[in-house]
Structure formats: structure tokens, C-alpha cells
Amino acid sequence: MADQFNLSEGGANHQKPKGKDDTMTTAQGHPVADDQNWLTAGERGPQLLEDHIAREKIFHFDHERIPERVVHARGYGVHGHFKLTRAIPEYSSAQIFNEEGAETPTFTRFSTVAGNKGSPDLARDVRGFATKFYTPQGNWDLVGNNIPVFFIQDAIKFPDLIHAAKPAPDRGFPQAQTAHDNFWDFISLSPEAMHMVMWIMSDRAIPRSFRFMEGFGVHTFRLVNAEGKSHFVKFHWKPKLGLQSVVWNEALKVNGMDPDFHRRDMWDAIDAGDFPQWELGIQVFDDDFAEEFEFDILDATKIIPEEQVPVEIIGTLTLDANVDNFFAETEQVAFCTQNIVPGIDFTDDPLLQGRNFSYLDTQLKRLGGPNFTHIPINAPKCPVRHFQQDGQMAMHNPKGRANYEPNSWGSGDGSKEDRGPRASQERGFTSYEAPVEGPKIRRRGETFADHYSQARQFYISQTPIEQTHMANALTFELSKVERMDIRTRMVGHLRHIDGDLAQEVADGIGLDKLPEKVPLAREPITDLPESPALSILKNGPGSFKGRKLGIYIAEGGDAEVVSALKSAAKDVGAMVEIIAPHVAGAKLSDGKMMEADEKIDGGPSVVYDAVAVVMGEDSAKRFAKDKPSIDFINDAFAHAKFTAYVPAVRALLTGAGVWDRRDDGFIDVSSGKTAAKDFIETCGKLRFWERENVKQD
């Protein structure tokens, strides 16, 4: 391993400096005498090209960037491990699924899809959830999303989808958002996208944190056991901390305040030893179920409701280490859907099959050659033996004479005359012998033709609050679309999904009458039952664990109340940050200075899950007209956050216009410990949704 000054160990003959030598060198190992001044002819003379030290430095700098990912450019990677809690030899022969208690190292990269590398974290978008398992049988990459379905059914449509979503080619905007003509034009001409549209217009597309999202393998894969018997499988990641999203207005503000909100959240949690965990679940089913199921199991725009095939939990993923170097790990990690191990196999899902070509191809472009598996983050952690050789940046070069097979050299003893590796029927990967026949055609099967039934099922499975958020999101996005015909075409689709939703959106965008329904390829099923598993609010954590309380203090604030809030939050495993008018903090009622984590205008309430305001009466009066203080309270109110307060802050709450509007989401904690405990317990509901003006369940 290179040391912290990046003094690479170089080749085998490299002489390590004796003792502690921190002399800077060039990449060629030449010691550097002056790293601040280019070699010139005289003090004010021209720079000399002869300066190999300066030229090497600039040359390397000029080549620091590699192409960003075409999609999922903005991402954040973390190390972890997967522990198998239930062996499943009946389904799969994969070693990773057979030794109960065994731990497999992992690297997981979360991402947004549409934005570029520097785009804000809280864009309304799908989140990538890609995990590389370094198994004893080679790397298995489960390259999924936080949404279990996709926009399209066939990989050939992917470039169009992405072109339509990304900035328009003429103007180069808008960045990291779908609220524009090109996206909705494409979508409204692609009925197969309607189920996915319901998901991206739901709060799933604005998660509070990577830690509070589900993950899905999306496609139907196969598990194959030692006898060669195959079952179909869908993979699920279930966050132990429960699901949670933000509200749209909050997302917009968070992006301004902290574009790194999600990556910072992950870094901070891991840094604090608060390791996020997910359970790996599988939905397993056989050919008979596949036959009977209402939809085609090869269609990636469909789910299999958990109520129909339960998710069986088989292991736990724990993310427990941040990267040492963002570029080396997060940027260079190369996921490939075709990386599977014996015991797992593909199906003929036409989206998956296209991906299996695409990912290898993309890595060649991004990482510059075929040897990207030599980069430590991509290298398997099991023995690797083959006759592949050479190519750019070859790091592991075979020794000995044989570089082909069959050969008749030595007998596998590792000597110079060794014959090298041999394929093994017994241990090697064998494809499941799925029968394949049929004419070569370009035609989508009839079984892929229903585009609205599950879109409707998703919508009716949401709580009224979530349904309102979806209608609002559709209204917001379509209001950004300039062409009237695109807006109305979308409402023509919504009419097949839910009449009320279509009406709400039509009202929202000001249509006087509902447009015609778009023509159907196939009559939808309108009586699919609700699936509670699809709602975020029905699957909340019921605890404030892993969440963040922001306590806004100022001079004279009741020290006992602050300390009671802090310990009540810590007791349930929540984080606390102190916000004050100055970053130095504030003197509380006990005369002691309490340090602040944030100054008020750098610590707005949008970055906290719940807030508290604890000040002396004079301070509250002083800040009653202070804009950042008013925003702090107003936003918390507008985003339905629980707010703890002491009566001494009345002037400030009055200044913010909320004193007379206090509802059950405001909790007076002046009486101390028990009140603070009750407040934190109430915060387990995460939001006081009753404040939102919608009908309740």
C-alpha cells in the first residue's frame, strides 16, 4: 500500500528510504528541491521546458479527470460487509449464500441518475444502490436502484430516455431535474414508463438520506442450487432505520444550503460509528407462479407485490467504513451487472440483457483499458488465475512460460515451467440450461403490454398525504413544461391510473376540461389490491434513532432543558446539533457558554428532522425580526416538523407568525426531563403530518 504521502512502492527493486524520510519526489522517484518555482532563465526570464519536475507536475494535473459516468455520475461510495443470517442451499449453490454467519466484504455506491458529478444531492431522481460483494467465488455486483421498477422495458430505449432526461443539447440545461419539456415529451410518448412515473413523483425520489431508503435488484434473476434446479428471485434491501423522505419545498432549500446533504449524512454517520444497516431479502418463486402471475416476470416495469410473494430475509449489510480516497474508490469503482457467481444467473429480461453488454463497455471508456480489475477497488479478493495479459496499465503480470491452453507444461506447482490454470467443470460457472427457441424478431411480447395496472396499484397503496405529494409533484413538473400538448397528453395517461389524480393534476395545471384518455395497448386490471409495502409512511421507523435534532439556543436559554433534550435524543440513538446566533455559541441560564455546531444562517431547520428553540426572553425578543431565525421556525412549521420550545421564546415564535398557530406538533419542554423524553418519543413519528392540509386516513 502506498503511504499517506503517496510515495508509491514502485517496482520490486524499489529502495525504500531509510527511517522517516518525507522528501518529496517526482512520480519517477527523483527528489524535489523546490516545488514552488518553475526553472527560468534568470529571475525575470522565460520558463524553461527543460524543467522535468514542473512539467511532470502539470502533465499529471492535466490528466486528473476521467470521464464521468454517463448516468449515475453523482455518487457516494462506502465499504461494508454482508453477513449471511440464513443459508439457502435449497435455492442457491453460491458460497455467499451457504455459510451462515460468514461475512463478505462489500463496496456500495449510492447515486443520483440524471445530474452531473457536481449536481445537488436532493434532486428529484431515482437513487442508484449498487453493491459489489467480494465473494470467495469472485465479485458479485448487484447494481440496483431505490425504486423496484424502471422506465423502459427494452435496453435499446435507454439512450433516448437518458438524453430526454439530461440537459437539452442546445441550451445545456436544466441540470439534475426532470421538470422540462424533453423529459415529459419522451415519457408521455412511452406508456410503459407510467408505473415508474408514479414512483418518481412520489417521495421515494427525494429521500431524506441514503440510510433511509430501500434498494432493489429490479430485474428477475435466477438462483440455481447444487442440483441445478432454478428458482426465480427478486432482491430487496430493507433499511433497518426505516424509510423516510423529505418534502419537496425542503428538498429545494436543502440543495441550496447543503448540496452535499446525502454524502455528508453518510460520512457523518459512519464517522460517528453509527453504521447503517440493511437486510437483504429475496422473493423466490417458481415457473408455476411465473405462469400464473398477472404480468410478465421479465418485464422490469412490474413488481411482484410482497403480499403475493413474501420477502425472506437472508442477511445483513453493514456499512462501516468511509473511503480513504474518493477518486481511487468511489470514482474508479466499476460495477458490472454481468458480474455474477455460480449459483446466481440471469433471466431473459430484455433490460438486464442489454445492461450486461453496457457496463463492461462503459468501464473500458471510463477507466481507459481492459485492466480495470487490477485497480484495488475492483480487484476480486479471491485468487485470480487466467491467461489474459498485457494491455494498458497491466499491474499483475503472469510469470512463467505458458500463456495459452491447452499446454503440456508442468503440473500446476507454481514453478516457472508451470502449466498455469485450468477450467473446472466442478467449481466453474455453468449457465442454467434454460431452453431458448424462436424466430429472430424485433417485437415486444403481448405480455409486456399492460402499462397502467400497477401504476394504479402503487397510487392507491399510498396514504392520502403521499397521494397529495404525488399530485403536487406532477403539477409542479408539468407546470415547468412549456408545451400544452405535452401537459395534456400526460393527463390523458393519468386518467387510466386514477380519476381523482388526473382531475387534481388537471386542476393544478389549469385545464378547463379533462383531455381524452390516450389509446390503450391492453385493458388495465383495475381491481389489484392495495400493497401497504409500497407506502413510505406506512413503513416508517417509529423511532427517532439515526435522525438529527437541531437545538437553536441563544443567551439565557434554559441550560437544564437543553441538556435534557440532548440526553433524551442521545438515549434513542439520535444526533444533536446546536445552532446559535454565533458559531462561538451562547451563554445559557447556568452562566456557562455552550459551543455551537452551526451559526443560525448556516444551520437552517431544513437540515434537521426536528427542532427545538431554547432562549432567554430577551434573546427571543432580539431575534424576533431576524430573517434567518424566522426562516428557521417558518420552514420547520411548513415542513411539518416537530418543534420543542420554552414559553420564553414567545416573542420569536410570534415574530415568525406561528405562536397562535401552535398545534400538537409544538411541544412545551420547559418542565424538563420527562417533557424532553416525550418530545423525542413523539419525534419517532418523524413529521406532524396532520398539519398538512389533506384528508387523513
Catalytic residues: 72, 145
The site for ligand HDE, by CB under 6 A, has a size of: 25
204 binds ligand HDE (CB under 6 A): no
The residue (of 143 and 193) whose beta carbon lies closer to ligand HDE is: 143
640 binds ligand HDE (CB under 6 A): no
Is residue 530 exposed (0-12), middle (13-18) or buried (19+ Cβ within 10 Å)? middle
CB 141 to ligand HDE: min, Å: 9
362 binds ligand HDE (CB under 6 A): yes
Q: How far apart are CA 134 and CA 150, in angstroms?
A: 27
CB 331 to ligand HDE: min, Å: 9
From 136, 174, 354, 508, residue interacting with ligand HDE (rule: CB under 6 A): 354
From 84, 88, 130, 344, residue interacting with ligand HDE (rule: CB under 6 A): 130
Q: Give the CA dihedral 327, 332, 337, 341, nearest 10 degrees.
A: -110
335 binds ligand HDE (CB under 6 A): yes
The region of 41-49, 141-149, 255-263, 490-498 touching ligand HDE under the rule CB under 6 A is 141-149
Question: What is the contact mask toward ligand HDE in residues 273 to 302, using x (rule: CB under 6 A)?
Answer: ---------------------------x--
Residue whose C-alpha is closest to residue 663's, from 636, 684, 681, 623: 636
Q: How far apart are CA 268 and CA 299, in angstroms?
A: 38
232 strand-pairing partners: 222, 285
Q: How many CA atoms lie within 13 A of 86 on its CB side?
A: 10
Q: Give the CA dihedral 1, 96, 333, 256, nearest 10 degrees.
A: -110
Q: Is the peptide bond before 174 cis (omega within 30 degrees of 0)?
A: yes
The residue (of 233 and 351) whose beta carbon lies closer to ligand HDE is: 351
234 binds ligand HDE (CB under 6 A): no
CB 262 to ligand HDE: min, Å: 13
Q: How far apart are CA 424 and CA 342, in angstroms?
A: 12
196 binds ligand HDE (CB under 6 A): no
144 binds ligand HDE (CB under 6 A): yes
CB 293 to ligand HDE: min, Å: 20
72 binds ligand HDE (CB under 6 A): yes
The residue (of 333 and 486) whose beta carbon lies closer to ligand HDE is: 333
The residue (of 110 and 248) whose beta carbon lies closer to ligand HDE is: 110
The residue (of 145 and 467) whose beta carbon lies closer to ligand HDE is: 145
CB 434 to ligand HDE: min, Å: 20
Q: CB–CB of 348/268 below 8 Å?
A: no
394 secondary structure, DSSP code: -
Question: What is the contact mask toward ligand HDE in residues 578 to 617, using x (rule: CB under 6 A)?
Answer: ----------------------------------------
The residue (of 359 and 432) whose beta carbon lies closer to ligand HDE is: 359
CB atoms within 10 A of CB 405: 14
Residues 384-443 that bind ligand HDE (CB under 6 A): none
The residue (of 155 and 633) whose beta carbon lies closer to ligand HDE is: 155
Q: How far apart are CA 13 and CA 631, in angstroms?
A: 63
The region of 140-148, 225-233, 541-549, 687-695 touching ligand HDE under the rule CB under 6 A is 140-148
From 91, 140, 158, 232, residue interacting with ligand HDE (rule: CB under 6 A): 158
Backbone angles phi, psi at 342, to 5 degrees: -55, 135
Distance of CA 438 to the CA centre of its chain: 39
The region of 35-43, 258-266, 357-365, 541-549 touching ligand HDE under the rule CB under 6 A is 357-365
CB 301 to ligand HDE: min, Å: 10
The region of 24-32, 237-245, 349-357, 466-474 touching ligand HDE under the rule CB under 6 A is 349-357
What is the number of the residue whose Cβ is closest to ligand HDE? 128
150 binds ligand HDE (CB under 6 A): yes
Q: How far apart are CA 222 and CA 470, in angstroms?
A: 34
CB 194 to ligand HDE: min, Å: 16
Spatial neighbors of 615 by CB under 8 A, at least 6 apart, are 552, 553, 554, 555, 556, 557, 623, 646, 648, 649, 652
CB 113 to ligand HDE: min, Å: 7
Q: CB–CB of 550/607 below 8 Å?
A: yes
Task: Dump strand ranges (E) for 291-448.
Answer: 312-322, 344-345
239 strand-pairing partners: 278
Q: How many CA atoms lie within 13 A of 84 on its CB side?
A: 17
From 280, 351, 486, 490, residue interacting with ligand HDE (rule: CB under 6 A): 351
Residue whose C-alpha is closest to residue 78's, from 292, 261, 322: 322
From 142, 218, 518, 636, residue interacting with ligand HDE (rule: CB under 6 A): 218
69 binds ligand HDE (CB under 6 A): yes
The region of 281-289, 350-358, 401-409, 667-675 touching ligand HDE under the rule CB under 6 A is 350-358
Complete DSSP assignment for 450-494: --SHHHHHHHHTS-HHHHHHHHHHHHHHHHT---HHHHHHHHHHH
Is residue 133 exposed (0-12), middle (13-18) or buried (19+ Cβ within 10 Å)? buried
645 binds ligand HDE (CB under 6 A): no
CB atoms within 10 A of CB 16: 10
Residue whose C-alpha is closest to residue 239's, from 263, 275, 287: 275
Question: What is the contact mask toward ligand HDE in residues 86 to 115, using x (rule: CB under 6 A)?
Answer: -----------------------x-x----
CB 333 to ligand HDE: min, Å: 6
* 67, three cell numbers: 470521464
Spatial neighbors of 60 by CB under 8 A, at least 6 apart, are 27
Name the site residues for ligand HDE (rule: CB under 6 A).
Answer: 69-72, 75, 109, 111, 128, 130, 143-145, 150, 155, 158, 218, 300, 333, 335, 351, 354-355, 358-359, 362
